[in-house]
């Protein structure tokens, strides 16, 4: 499905941006190809923040064209969209870590900026954080470092937790370090863990159903497939009586119990800053991979009540946001 128009939320109001790239504009304006790995509902606010930051940096609609395509959590779409952007000869491709391998395979010339990536060095996207080399740079969300922290927080609000499951996609090179770190943290904390590996949307329901009565909580990996299906995951996990932990506020808005991680719209604003530098002549090879500065602890109090969890007052005071 090709989407060149999406709804973004700015200042609490819904604003529609006409992002259609017209043939006559393509020859005159710098064009940014944005590969959304999930759906407009899942990532629309993130890309809204990206476009808004571009405007703040002086890139108005009259000066730049933005072409947004949505993969809807389908891995096979990454290569298709990347090939389309190469054919259009866009000036920069913006995406998230999950699709970087497909985009890198499509082009070694067009600059690539990833707004989110767990371990870009370990995944082979860049040579180093300080000097990426090649045509790729971006922002690391430090997912692998934060996984253990999320697990600690989950154990704090789920009394007596001894065994949990990780719902994720082990084939996702961009986020698999997160799974490894969570497993290591579990061993350190004396918790037992098991992997519920899903690679397609239809595998999510049976995976969660199989966990009923066997685990006391569910850790949801940060992944486009999970993000696209976060409402389904929330509903199924609640039905199974499983408290859930995740890495992004969007999941908690959808009904998961808690999240701790970088502010994703803020990461996309940072990506806009890198794009601005590239459009003004900088090379991705020379632009260090940036790291997040803003982290949010978010709790869904309604979900906690449904699960029968009593959240300590000290935890509520610590949370950056409590959703009721």
**Judgement on whether residues 305 and 286 belong to the same structural domain of the protein:** no
- Do residues 119 and 143 lie in contact, with contact meaning Cβ atoms separated by under 8 Å? yes
**What is the side-by-side strand order in the sheet with 92-95?**
65-70, 31-36, 92-95, 112-114, 136-138
**Judgement on whether residues 241 and 278 belong to the same structural domain of the protein:** no
**Judgement on whether residues 250 and 269 belong to the same structural domain of the protein:** no
Single pTM value for the model = 0.79
**Judgement on whether residues 185 and 317 belong to the same structural domain of the protein:** yes
- Do residues 168 and 198 lie in contact, with contact meaning Cβ atoms separated by under 8 Å? yes
Residue tagged 């190469």 (tokens): 86
Min mean pLDDT across 103-107, 221-225, 309-313 is at 221-225
Q: Assign 193 a pLDDT band (cuts: 50, 70, 90).
A: very high
**Judgement on whether residues 25 and 127 belong to the same structural domain of the protein:** yes
**Judgement on whether residues 162 and 251 belong to the same structural domain of the protein:** yes
**Judgement on whether residues 276 and 230 belong to the same structural domain of the protein:** no
pLDDT at 5 over 70: no
Residue tagged 């999930």 (tokens): 38
**Judgement on whether residues 176 and 284 belong to the same structural domain of the protein:** no
DSSP 133-152: -TTEEEB---HHHHHHHHHH
Comparison of pLDDT for 174 and 148, the residue scoring more: 148
pLDDT at 21 over 70: no
Count CA atoms closer than 13 A to 15's CA, side-chain side: 13
How many domains, the chain? Answer: 2
Q: Assign 55 a pLDDT band (cuts: 50, 70, 90).
A: very high
**Judgement on whether residues 25 and 78 belong to the same structural domain of the protein:** yes
The burial of 121, by beta-carbon neighbours within 10 Å (0-12 exposed, 13-18 middle, 19 or more buried), is given as middle
- Do residues 284 and 111 lie in contact, with contact meaning Cβ atoms separated by under 8 Å? yes
Report how far residue 134's alpha carbon sits from residue 121's, in angstroms, rounded to the nearest whole number. 13
**Judgement on whether residues 238 and 279 belong to the same structural domain of the protein:** no
Domain ranges, residue 152:
143-262+296-323
| Sequence-distant (≥ 6) Cβ neighbours of residue 187 within 8 angstroms | none
Q: Once rounded to an integer, what is the mean pLDDT over residues 240-246?
A: 96
Report how far residue 185's alpha carbon sits from residue 159's, in angstroms, rounded to the nearest whole number. 18
**Judgement on whether residues 96 and 191 belong to the same structural domain of the protein:** no
């Amino acid at each position: 499905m090709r989407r060149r128009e999406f709804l973004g939320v700015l200042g609490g109001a819904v604003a529609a941006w006409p992002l259609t790239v017209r043939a006559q504009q393509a020859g005159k304006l710098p064009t940014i190809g944005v590969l959304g790995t999930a759906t407009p509902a899942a990532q629309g606010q993130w890309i809204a923040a990206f476009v808004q930051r571009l405007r703040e940096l002086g890139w108005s609609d009259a000066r730049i064209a933005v072409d947004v395509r949505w993969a809807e959590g389908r891995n096979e779409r990454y290569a298709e969209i990347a090939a389309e952007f190469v054919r259009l000869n866009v000036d920069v491709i913006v995406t998230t870590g999950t699709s970087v391998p497909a985009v890198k395979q499509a082009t070694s010339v067009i600059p690539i900026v990833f707004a989110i990536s767990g371990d870009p060095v370990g995944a082979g996207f860049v040579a180093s954080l300080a000097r990426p080399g090649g045509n790729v740079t971006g922002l690391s969300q430090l997912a692998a470092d934060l996984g253990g922290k999320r697990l600690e927080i989950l154990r704090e609000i789920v009394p007596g937790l001894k065994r949990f499951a990780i719902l994720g996609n082990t084939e996702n090179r961009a986020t698999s370090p997160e799974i490894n770190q969570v497993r290591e943290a579990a061993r350190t904390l004396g918790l037992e863990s098991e992997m519920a590996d899903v690679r397609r949307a239809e595998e999510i329901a049976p995976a969660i159903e199989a966990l009923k009565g066997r685990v006391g909580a569910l850790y949801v990996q940060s992944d486009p497939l999970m993000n696209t299906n976060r409402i389904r995951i929330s509903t199924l996990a609640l039905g199974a009586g499983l408290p859930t932990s995740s890495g992004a506020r969007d999941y908690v808005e959808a009904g998961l119990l808690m999240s701790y991680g970088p502010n994703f719209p803020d990461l996309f604003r940072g990506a806009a800053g890198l794009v601005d530098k590239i459009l003004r002549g900088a090379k991705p090879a020379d632009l260090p991979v940036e790291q997040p500065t803003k982290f949010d602890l978010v709790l869904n109090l309604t979900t906690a009540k449904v699960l029968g969890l009593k959240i300590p007052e000290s935890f509520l005071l610590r949370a950056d946001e409590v959703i009721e």
